[in-house]
Amino acid sequence: MHDDKATVDVEETLKQARTLWQKYFALTKELLKFSDQKDSELFMELVDQRDRLIEKMKALPQNDYRESEECKKMIEQIIPMDKQIIYRAKAWLNKSRRQNSAVRSYDLIESAGLRGTVFNRKY
């Protein structure tokens, strides 16, 4: 009877692992969809959701789901999506930094009281 409980626990753990990986895969697809759009709040919420799934995966008892063909196929699809997400996020971050830098430069000119003098001079 003790072995039956252990078998049920292993099966339940594998079922939970499968469910979490499927959710992770779905969230990765959503992240890719929103990674080049302007809604950074939604994007970050999806990143947070995915991080919470990772924590749940780590909290599961030791299991072999990651070694299953089903999971390996999902991972093969996730890896290129992750690379695209990272590339797009870095591009967005760089663009955002450039815009913030330009705004800060303008703010410095404004706060120094130079706006009128710099732009009205004839050289």
Is the per-residue pLDDT at 89 higher than 80?
yes
Please, which pLDDT band fits residue 118 given cuts at 50, 70 and 90?
Answer: very low
Domain-embedded: residue 122: no
Domain-embedded: residue 16: yes
CATH number at residue 92: 1.20.58
Structural domain that includes position 76: 2-115
Tokens of 94: 């760089």
Please, which pLDDT band fits residue 123 given cuts at 50, 70 and 90?
Answer: very low
pLDDT the model gives residue 93: 78
Q: Report the domain count for the chain.
A: 1
Is the per-residue pLDDT at 109 higher than 60?
no
Cβ-contact 63, 14 below 8 angstroms: yes
Please, which pLDDT band fits residue 65 given cuts at 50, 70 and 90?
Answer: very high
